């Protein structure tokens, strides 16, 4: 940011960080989902209820949705590069702030999964 104006590099920096974090979350969720499949198949009495399945699926959907929003914003930033630098009232910045809020919600949901679902997938298992 220079003289109160927002440069493409300012927004791009956060998008890159967010995309890396989202990719990591995606891998974490895939590992957990595979672990659930293995435990349901091989561990008689393993309990993983529908609510937990839905939580993982909703998080996966949220990751895909936000990745698409970021991709769209990156495309628009490139297309409208002549408009930069921009102010904090510009539509690209206001949309960036909305994405920042969604990223916060995704971070919170991922932390919930790590605190509440991940332990169910580790020994000793949640058996009937």
- d(Cα 7, Cα 84) in Å, to the nearest integer? 6
Residue 3: predicted pLDDT: 59
- d(Cα 68, Cα 100) in Å, to the nearest integer? 14
Whole-prediction pTM = 0.89
Average pLDDT over residues 83-88: 85
Q: Is the pLDDT of residue 22 over 70?
A: yes
Residue 88: predicted pLDDT: 85
Q: What are phi and psi of 43, to 5 degrees?
A: -115, 100
Mean predicted lDDT score pLDDT of the chain: 91
Tokens representing residue 95 in the block: 């949309």
Residue 1 DSSP symbol = -
């Amino acid at each position: 940011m220079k003289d109160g104006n927002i440069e493409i590099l300012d927004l791009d920096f956060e998008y890159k960080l967010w995309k890396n974090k989202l990719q990591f979350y995606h891998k974490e969720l895939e590992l957990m989902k595979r672990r659930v499949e293995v435990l349901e198949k091989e561990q008689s009495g393993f309990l993983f209820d529908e609510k937990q399945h839905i939580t993982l699926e909703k998080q996966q959907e949220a990751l895909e949705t936000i990745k698409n929003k970021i991709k769209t914003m990156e495309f628009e930033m490139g297309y409208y590069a002549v408009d930069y630098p921009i102010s904090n009232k510009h539509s690209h910045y206001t949309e960036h702030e909305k994405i920042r809020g969604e990223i916060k919600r995704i971070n919170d949901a991922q932390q919930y999964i790590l605190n509440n679902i991940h332990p169910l997938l580790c020994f000793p298992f949640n058996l009937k």
